Amino acid sequence: MSHMSFAHPYFGAFFSMFLAFFIFFGIVLLARRISRALSSKNGEKLKLTIYECGFPTTKQPNRISPHFYLFALLFILFDVEIVFMFPWAVNFKALGVFGFVEMTLFILLLGIGFVYAWNKGALEWHSIK
């Protein structure tokens, strides 16, 4: 059979899907180009000001310590481990020794990560002054 068969029952559905996909992205790209061509390029000071209320924006240093973000990231990391441990605990007998060894390795790796974060001082709460 050297020619392509168009008699497949799903050929029309796949062809319609790909055609709709390309038409959709073509329209999106065309609309984006038209909107950029017609948009105003000048930046007005009045447009950038605060409307009716509020303080004028000033550049100020970030007063939020990055330690908050590090602590939150570590919380999420060690909290997600429960998602992996719950199915293991439910099927503990069915998994047998293999499941026990795998979870032991998983907990060991998490413990190594915990000790590493502790040694780096990621869990120490510094005062912000």
Report the alpha-carbon distance of residue 77 to residue 83 in Å, rounded. 11
Digit-coded pLDDT (tens) for 31-45: 999 998 888 777 666
Q: Which of 36-50, 62-76, 81-95 has the lowest mean pLDDT?
A: 36-50
Same domain, 35 and 70: no
Report the alpha-carbon distance of residue 76 to residue 129 in Å, rounded. 26
Same domain, 112 and 70: yes
Report the number of distinct structural domains present in the chain: 2
Digit-coded pLDDT (tens) for 98-125: 989 999 999 999 899 889 888 888 777 7
127 falls within a domain: no
93 falls within a domain: yes
pLDDT confidence of residue 114: 86
Domain, as residue range, for 70: 66-120
